[in-house]
Structure 1
Amino acid sequence: MQTASWVKNRFHYGWITLAVVFLIMLITAGTRATPSVMMVPLEHDFGWSRATVSAALSINLALFGLMGPFAAAAMQRFGVRRTVMSALSVLAVGVGLSSLMSQTWHMILIWGLLVGAATGATSMTLGATVVNRWFKERRGFAMGVLTASSATGQLLFLPLMAAIVERYGWRPIVLLVAGAAVIAIPLVAFLLPERPASVGLRPFGESPDVPLDHSVSQANPITIAFAALKKASGSRDFWLLFLSFFICGASTNGYIGTHFIAMCGDYGLSEVKGASILASMGVLDLIGTTFSGWLSDRFNNRVLLFWYYGLRGLALIFLPWAFGIQYFGLPIFAFFYGLDWVATVPPTVRLTTDVFGSRDAPVVFGWIVAGHQLGAAFAALGAGLLRNSLGSYTVATMISGGLCVAGAILVLRIHRKPKLQAAMA
């Protein structure tokens, strides 16, 4: 890695690695945002109901999460670079082929199975793996920056995609997203080392007395993933993290990320308007999540999560009324919800590392992400079914807000020492 050798005497190469992974996760976020602007056009072009499209997207969301622990294990066994390049290749081919789809099974195969599996290797588990390998200090900030790429992906892609759909239809946007994945492949090949020791470095902030870590697991990735699950599943903290992230996924990717643009259409707002509101929430989340990473290095992460889930729940409960308040309703919702969109990720990663250690944390976090995406799949399908049967999203919104309030209470029990043990410590 000649580039790494050139920069390592100027500043730590971990920041270059962070930038490359930010780009990968940004493209993943843009890909994952694409179906939300395709939902109504597919309904018009093929007569597919929102429940049908939501079913395909729920498979996507579930696979996205379930691939996480196996992707993290594959990165341990085969390397980050090879795993990510393979996933980007599948993503580019799958998304490109979707421009030819005309049957519901095409949607399920491509956007459900292929895209769901590929994006599972290029999102949050990738971020957690890279941060734990490259950073001893400022882990929360680094994870906050990577998580914020989801917001930036929406900011860059959604308004553009909505405008293209409105003028040219939905097919050009899938070719745009496929092209972005192709461009990322050579950047990964040339700029993403496997670990700090590959370029003669230690993780950022690690003592110079610590020997370089060249270790590579020889175990089967499936064995690694299930061994981590077996070990973690005996811990109450794992299930609290899993359940809280289930609620996180249900109230973000699954509900607002999938249905918000279609919900705006129910109130007479255009796709471009809905996408613009979603993008504005992306800008706010870029700020909120980066700041959340900074806070997670300095304050009690359980308390941070309590406020994040509680405020998100109140914002969602307010949403049905926001559409009826002229001028100020949706901006108020967008402000509070946007700052909180994925601010939960840095404290959750930090707590996972505190409980399970930096070596096991990426794979364990992969299983926690699986909970996030199972929640997203539940909400994507459930909201679509409720909208079809009731004619509005109001009940789905109330359920989502109520889950967040419950999540705010649950997170206070994570990694909490018994009083007697805490007094003796």
Structure 2
Amino acid sequence: MNSTKWVVAAGAALAIVVAGAFSTLAGLLVGPLHEELGWSRSAVGLGSLVNMVVYGATAPFAAALMDRVGMRKVAVGALGLVGGGALLATTMTAPWQFILYWGVLVGLGTGATATTFAATVTERWFVARRGLVAGLLTAASVVGQFVFLPLLSWVIDAWGWRAAAYGLVFAVAGALPLVYAAVRDPEPRAAPVALHSLRNVNFLRSGPFWLLAGTFAVCGASTNGVMWTHFAPAAHDHGMPTTVAASLLSLIGIFNIAGTVGSGWATDRLDPRRLLAAYYALRGLSLLALPLLLSATVDPPLVAFTVAFGLLDVATVPPTIALCRAHYGTGAPVVFGWVSAAHQVGAGSVAYVGGAVRDVFGSYDLVWVGAGVLCAVAALLSLVIDRGSIDRGRIDHGSTRPATAQVIDRV
């Protein structure tokens, strides 16, 4: 049993890595689709908007589906969706097809293999070392999203964007049998917490939820929405090769890991609200400075920005989860799933608006400034959130009702 759970975690990590590579490829497709097919950047951005919204909205429902049919079927089905969407994308001739193939199909698949999948594997298979496993699976997502970017960028430069899409399809084909063999559910399966929560969403009427959702929407807007989608084309506008810009994004991904681990350590010791305020404020300042740093070459100030942004990028996750736990107890993972949906709505909105701004003004400068201002707003909102108490979410052990149902009812 002990070895089995680590095999399951390894299979889940493989699925997360492969699906994660699809999450950031769209940022490398903006220029090629504009140049080859003549699509506007806002049209490509609309596909990214749909992708990110579908990604975020899928997570809670994917968790419910895992409760009903099992993790293996959902993971394999999700990989099939991303592979099928990428394969169909190679035949595109109109923007609506990008919206359908990449926005909907790839969005569904990547959303089903995101944070909710990692949380479900951790919850069902591990009692000790849950934090370690959750951190490792989060790191797997970062690896998929950033580490392969330079390789994908090189493939696009050498053989075109379709070759990169085919490469990811082959990666899915290779991963599918391994994921099928490794990922499984323990017997008996856990109680259907996520499924129950879809019918019991009283937390939507609480102020802390909307403050957390609002700040996390800004998090998505200032990371996935602006950096993952528009950094590479913005750097290219300044004469920087796309492969070099992709390498900088990979460097951000490497420092994401250190930033997340360090933020988790700090969250255990400091007020998470103040940590969030500091992270958003510093991120906003870095984004405001970026238009002054972009050039055709990589110099020390731009490297410093890359390191700083990497440390701040995913650092918001531990304190946000901590605040969810403080207000909603052991129902926090469910609530965090819905907060994550807000993250993707913010990301998708800025992905679309950023492309439209570039089409109208011929520059991304206003996009960086706007994202910086949003971060300043999020910093202020973070300080308004009530700190809450873990006591509010504790289970009444004297009740005869299932513990999971008690928690969800309180949420």
TM bracket (short chain): 0.7 to 0.9
Instruction: Kindly state the Cα deviation for residue 296 of structure 1 after the two structures are TM-superposed.
Output: 3.5
Q: 2:174 aligns with which of 178, 183, 189?
A: 183
What are the equivalent positions in structure 2 for 1:111-260 lying under 5 Å apart? 111-136=102-127, 138-195=129-186, 198=187, 214-217=189-192, 221=195, 224-228=196-200, 230-260=201-231
Task: Give me the CA root mean square deviation.
Answer: 2.4
Instruction: Sort the Cα spacing of 1:385 and 1:312 in 2 relative to 1 into closer, same or farther, 3 A.
Output: same
Hey, what does 2:299 align to over in structure 1?
Answer: 327
Amino acid at match of 1:339: L
Question: What is the match of residue 87 of structure 2?
Answer: 96
Tell me what 1:403 maps to: 374
Q: 1:318 to 1:184 in 2, by over 3 A?
A: same
Q: String of CA shifts for 1:323-345, please: whole Å, max 9, x gaps.
A: 26972221121010011111222
1:3-28 alpha-carbon deviations (Å, 9 max, x no partner) = x46x26xxxx3x44443333222222
Q: CA deviation at 1:234?
A: 1.9
Distance 1:385 1:214, change over 3 A: closer
Instruction: Name 1:69's counterpart in structure 2.
Output: 60
Aligned to 2:347: 376
Deviation at 1:120, TM superposition (A): 1.0
8 Å CA contact 2:323, 2:388 repeated in 1: no
Alignment match, 2:401: none
Counterpart AA for 1:303: R
Deviation at 1:154, TM superposition (A): 3.7
* TM-score using structure 2 length: 0.87
Measured against aligned partners, the alpha-carbon deviations of 1:73-119 in whole angstroms (never above 9, x if no partner) come to 11222222221111111111121221122222221110111111111
Amino acid at match of 1:392: S
Partner in structure 1 of residue 73 of structure 2: 82
Q: For the residues of structure 2 that align with 1:134 and 1:355, how far apart are their CA atoms?
A: 25
SS at match of 1:128: helix
Aligned counterpart, 2:20:
29
**CA separation of 1:145/1:291 partners in 2, compared to 1, >3 Å: closer, same or farther?**
farther
Q: 2:281 aligns with which of 288, 310, 313?
A: 310
Q: CA deviation at 1:414?
A: 3.4
For 2:288 and 2:275, the matched residues in 1 are separated by: 20
Partner of 1:293: 264
Cα 1:227–1:389 change in 2 (3 A) is same
Other-structure match for 1:209: none
What amino acid sits opposite 1:118 in the alignment? Answer: G
* Alpha carbons 1:80, 1:194 under 8 Å: kept: yes
C-alpha distance in 2 between matches for 1:362 and 1:111: 27
Aligned to 2:403: none
The range that moved more, 261-270 or 21-30, is 21-30
1:393/1:364 CA distance change after superposition, 3 Å: same
Are the counterparts in 2 of residues 285 and 340 from structure 1 also a CA contact under 8 Å? yes
| Contact 1:145 1:290 survives alignment (8 Å) | no
Task: Report the CA distance between 1:251 and its aligned residue.
Answer: 0.5
Q: Which amino acid aligns with 1:340?
A: L
Which residue of 241, 266, 273 corresponds with 1:270? Answer: 241
| Residues in 1 aligned to 2:266 and 2:125: alpha-carbon distance in whole angstroms | 20
After TM superposition, give the deviation of residue 140 of structure 1 in Å.
4.3
Contact 1:148 1:290 survives alignment (8 Å): no
1:15-26 matches, cutoff 5 A? 15-26=6-17
Paired AA for residue 114 in structure 2: S
1:402-425 Cα shifts (integer Å, max 9, x gaps) = 11122122223434249xx9xxxx
Residues 45 and 225 of structure 1, relative CA distance in 2, 3 Å threshold:
farther
SS state of the match for residue 205, structure 2? Answer: coil
Alpha carbons 1:140, 1:296 under 8 Å: kept: no
1:349 and 2:313 aligned: no
Cα separation, 1, equivalents of 2:19 and 2:271? 30
Partners of 1:29 and 1:251 lie apart in 2 by 18
Amino acid at match of 1:217: P
Q: Which residue matches 2:399?
A: none
Range moving further from structure 2, 255-264 or 387-396: 387-396
- The worse-fitting range, judged by mean Cα deviation, of 261-270 and 402-411 is 402-411
2:336 alignment partner in structure 1: 365
The structural deviation recorded for 1:32 is 1.0
Corresponding letter in the other structure for 1:87? A
Map Cα deviations across residues 104-149 of structure 1 (whole Å, 9 max, x no partner).
2221110111111111101122122233334455544443332233
Instruction: Give the unaligned 5+ runs of structure 1.
Output: 199-212
SS at match of 1:233: helix
Deviations 1:351-378 (A, max 9, x none): 32343233x3333222111100100111
CA distance in 2, matches of 1:155, 1:279: 5
Q: Which runs of 5+ in 2 are unaligned?
A: 393-411
CA contact (8 A) 1:141 1:290 kept: no
Q: Is the 8 A contact 2:9 2:183 kept in 1?
A: no
Partner SS state of residue 314, structure 2: coil
Residue 338 (structure 1) aligned to one of 302, 310, 320 = 310
CA contact (8 A) 1:60 1:111 kept: yes
